[in-house]
Amino acid sequence: MDIFQLDKSISFTQLKPLLLQKFGFVFLQDQNQPFFAIYPKYLHILDQDKIFYRQADFDYVEQTQTQLLQMNFYDNQINSADLSFQGGYIAFISYDYAAQQHIEQQHPIQQPTAIVGEYDIFIKWVDHQWVLFAEKNLIDHPAIQNLIHELQHCQEIKPAIPFKLKKNMQPRWSKTEYDQAFQHVQDYLYAGDCYQINLTQEFCGEVISGGLSALVSDLMHLSQAPFAGYIQFENFELLSCSPELFIEFQPNRILKTRPIKGTLPRHQDPEQDQQLKQQLANSEKDQAENLMIVDLLRNDLSVYAQTGSVKVPCLFEIESFAQVHHMVSEIQAKLKDDVNVLEVLLSALPGGSITGAPKIRAMQIIDEIEGNARGAYCGSLGYFNYDGTGRFNILIRSIQRYGDQLSVWAGGGITVASQVDAEYQECMDKVSALLDFLNQYSE
């Protein structure tokens, strides 16, 4: 890779609107190693069978291609010393795309289900400044030289069209309808179909002007989410403030996953906030739910792991985020030598923390009860480097726009020990900050 260091005075809010105009724009927070990527070698929209190839003059030609998600890795050797984006593949995979590998869904899917691009041009935050990375022999290309000139002279630009909602975000379910869905889940649990089912509900709004891109900077600041990101294609946008890591593909073929299961809100008073944190740490119910998902993920990873390598170094840790405390555990494993990392990712999706256990039956029940496709929610956004290292999140705390329709989802794992009002409140604790943020833009 060739590099070009930008002026240290150039900020995120200056870069974002400039880069947003470039084809294939994507942003990932990448656990405090943020980067933008633009001008992909190709961009594949799987559900539409569209693939756009970059030409020598940096124009793009559109072709059709059979719906197939493919990535090529250098000898499939995971050996990089640096786990950050180094050039490779960035992918959004929706819940529905992943679920359709396992079950036949009943509900129509309208928005893109998967977007995959191969990127060799990106701008990354390195040692307190933004650095442009480009594949060798590209740095002198007229398009890249023009980009460098734009980057060096960019100024903070406010969106030409402000983001506005027609009215406040509204739940698709009333409280009574949520209670009925909860009871339906309980019936399946007591019948022995599952041990845990992740019940989620949708909150909807109508956009009358602007796009989610105008909200990226403010929402990143509000959430401080380590696995946040933004991706768009035509009339589809996804803006995620996810705190949850799905799978990290580390050097030396080590896998790490950190499922979240167990939530309580933050409190402004430090003493009461600490009490809530301790309450979550001592919750036997949340520990039981968390352990179910840990066991599920241990099973998912063991299929591809070297015998005896699956371990749980951290169990029931409490992590505090801007609005909530979460109970988090960690599972690690070492991949077999002949395993392809993309196969591991697709096989493990959707994540157990947002489906339930056993996973296949939980997904079938989710599809029946929730009454609508989840879309991006509970899918994944992340990247693979060419050597197979990479990092993918779980798309919770995420906003999706398709056309003029805006959607936010939230929910939680339901067991026989769950209480309906407490579960409903947990859902609201998770989503309230996002809803409050969005509602300030309503007419």
Domains with residue ranges and CATH for the chain: 2-253+337-440 (3.60.120.10)
* Higher pLDDT pick, 165 / 153: 165
Tell me what pLDDT residue 83 has.
86
E strand segments, 16-64? 26-28, 35-37, 42-45, 50-54, 60-64
Q: What angle do CA 164, 109, 293 make, to 5 degrees?
A: 95
Q: What angle do CA 264, 326, 244 make, to 5 degrees?
A: 135
Give 156-162's long-range contacts (Cβ < 8 A, gap of 24+): 156/11, 156/13, 156/14, 156/17, 157/14, 157/17, 157/18, 159/17, 159/210, 159/213, 159/214, 161/209, 161/210, 161/211, 161/214, 162/209, 162/210, 162/214, 162/441
C-alpha to C-alpha distance for 367 and 109, rounded to whole angstroms: 12
Whether 118 contacts 44, CB under 8 Å: no
pLDDT one-digit tens code per residue, 211-253: 999 999 999 888 889 999 999 999 999 999 999 999 999 998 9
Q: Which of 396, 96, 125 is nearest to 245 (CA)?
A: 396
Kindly give, in sequence order, each residue whose CB lies less than 8 Å from that of residue 174, ignoring residues fewer than 6 positions away. Answer: none
Tell me what pLDDT residue 108 has.
84
pLDDT at 78 over 60: no
Which helix (H) or strand (E) is 374 found in, with range? none
pLDDT at 77 over 60: no
Catalytic residue flag (residue 244)? yes
Whether 335 contacts 310, CB under 8 Å: no
Tell me what pLDDT residue 48 has.
82
Catalytic residue flag (residue 175)? no
C-alpha to C-alpha distance for 359 and 297, rounded to whole angstroms: 10
Whether 327 contacts 297, CB under 8 Å: no
Catalytic residue, candidates 244, 289, 330, 426: 244
DSSP-derived secondary structure for 129-190:
EEEEEE-TTTTTSHHHHHHHHHHHT------SS--EESS--EESS-HHHHHHHHHHHHHHHH
Tell me what pLDDT residue 233 has.
94
Whether 334 contacts 309, CB under 8 Å: yes
Give the count of beta carbons closer than 10 Å to the beta carbon of residue 297: 28
Whether 354 contacts 378, CB under 8 Å: yes
* Higher pLDDT pick, 171 / 136: 171
Q: Which of 68, 39, 70 is nearest to 52 (CA)?
A: 39
Tell me what pLDDT residue 307 has.
94
pLDDT at 109 over 90: no
Catalytic residue, candidates 261, 334, 359, 430: 261
Tell me what pLDDT residue 107 has.
85
C-alpha to C-alpha distance for 439 and 184, rounded to whole angstroms: 31
pLDDT one-digit tens code per residue, 188-198: 999 999 999 99
C-alpha to C-alpha distance for 236 and 244, rounded to whole angstroms: 23
Tell me the whole-structure pTM to 2 decimals.
0.94
pLDDT at 75 over 80: no
Tell me what pLDDT residue 73 has.
87
Backbone torsions φ then ψ of 161, nearest 5 degrees: -115, 110
Kindly give, in sequence order, each residue whose CB lies less than 8 Å from that of residue 417, ignoring residues fewer than 6 positions away. Answer: 285, 288
Kindly give, in sequence order, each residue whose CB lies less than 8 Å from that of residue 316, ignoring residues fewer than 6 positions away. Answer: 262, 281, 287, 290, 327, 329
E strand segments, 24-119? 26-28, 35-37, 42-45, 50-54, 60-64, 88-93, 114-119
